[in-house]
Chain A
């Protein structure tokens, strides 16, 4: 039986049950919380999603969506930091300012971006660094996401490089700071500003105004957002309206304290011995998720089961995805799509088989990339205080009936 009714399921917000698996043995990483219900209230331009907060909006995509290379806009996850988001943007008047260490401080309108610059398009995965944070034990700091704080879209816009060139970066400029239109309640509170070191600037970093052939959804950063393919989404500033070039890194909470992991070989630490030195999370590691079936799906032992899902990494490219139906002892290759969306996109995969025995059956998927990196088992992932970069082998448990 296929479960096409997940949008209509008995619906509650993720209001009362944000409980991690904290009763398990200390420090053993587990599978992230799965199958949370979507809310019965839809946000603007969205279908009902798993809802953690309305102010600021925090919405997670349900597992069932992850069966194709592109994630529909109305199912795409949402994560804002500041609670006050303008509820009206006049696209005719909107412009972005470029200032700081530039030859000429300029403002560029949305129309100018669309007409005076080379238009580029690329497909890239947007994933929160804390995606699947519920896997960590003891409970790590931050929103207790399941597996759906991610999505993949075709972005259209202009190269950040071209925009900076128009203003003319001064020689001493080394950091580019980005600020969006979202604000805190108090004026004294600093904005959510992120910075990119110029060494990470390449042709693929774009200011996008279109997502999957449509204007960006409001909650995904309308009318303009930054796209940094291969990187976690902490710097993909939404509703971006200001870019400042500086020589020195600014002292910013969201750069100095947030989105950082231990700067050691295992990128790990323990709660009683936190790492002294940390580094930004930056590049995404290899990951894959099963979109169908989901845990609880009932399948007949006589019918062919087609497992579908998505795999991605930080841009090395996916080499293979393998499926195990015996708890991770034997692995067989899944069939990958043609990869035409490029190396920063999801690769959709499928694997067909006929379940033999009745009862509960665990299906696992494991991706590896062209650099030879392979997903570890969930239990082998080491803890970090922010609960970042979880990429354990995914699993769903179906019920085979005769």
Chain B
């Protein structure tokens, strides 16, 4: 009886260990992209660094918003999107498929 009690007290006073000593695996979640012109190019340039969920969960946005976001990715986060043509492709894909219809 005392042993049992001791055991319970010990259990209660010990911190529960997080199960990370052996490491964890973050699951892959599929966030499908809307099919459209420039999808493959956009996938290659954006999804290299982050999930498509991170992009689409910004909500439906203006063309200026998407352009500013892409420029932020390039200037602040060093995304390797080099040419104006590439920038336009990505911005146009985003606006056509995740746009709110407004230029600004």
Interface residues, chain A, CB within 8 Å of chain B? Answer: 13-16, 18-20, 22, 39, 41-45, 51-58, 83, 85, 87-91, 134, 138-139, 141-144, 184-186, 188-190, 210, 213-219, 222-223, 253, 257, 271
**Chain A residues positioned under 8 Å from B32 (CB to CB):** 15-16
**Given A13-B31, A55-B26, CB of A218 within 8 Å of CB of B20:** yes
Minimum CB–CB distance from B43 to chain A (whole Å) comes to 14
The answer to whether residues A188 and B31 also contact, given A18-B56, A22-B60, A87-B23 and a CB cut-off of 8 A, is: no
Inter-subunit contact B57/A216 (CB<8 Å)? no
Chain B contacts to A: CB under 8 angstroms: 15-32, 48-51, 53-54, 56-62, 65, 69, 76-80, 100, 104
Q: Give the interface centre of B49, B56, B57 by most chain A CB atoms within 10 Å.
A: B57
| Known A15-B32, A22-B60, A45-B24: A58·B53 in contact at CB below 8 Å | yes
Query: Majority SS of interface residues in chain A?
Result: loop
Query: Once the chains bind, are A53 and B57 in contact (CB under 8 Å)?
Result: yes
Identify the closest chain B residue to A253 (Cβ).
B76
A87 touches B26 (CB 8 A): yes
Contact B26 A143 (CB under 8 A): no
Q: Cβ of A218: which chain B residues have Cβ within 8 Å of it?
A: 18, 20, 24
In the complex, the answer to whether B16 meets A215 with C-beta atoms within 8 Å is: yes
Q: How far is the CA of A184 from the CA of B61 in the complex (A)?
A: 25
Instruction: Determine the residue in chain B with the shortest Cβ distance to A142.
Output: B58
Bound complex: CA of A184 vs CA of B48, how far in Å?
11
Give which listed residue, B25, B60, B62, B65, contacts A20 with CB less than 8 A.
Answer: B60
Chain B residues within an 8 Å CB radius of A91: 21
Which of chain B's residues have a CB closer than 8 A to the CB of A138? 62, 100
Q: For the complex formed, measure the closest distance between the CB of B33 and the CB atoms of chain A, giving whole angstroms.
A: 10
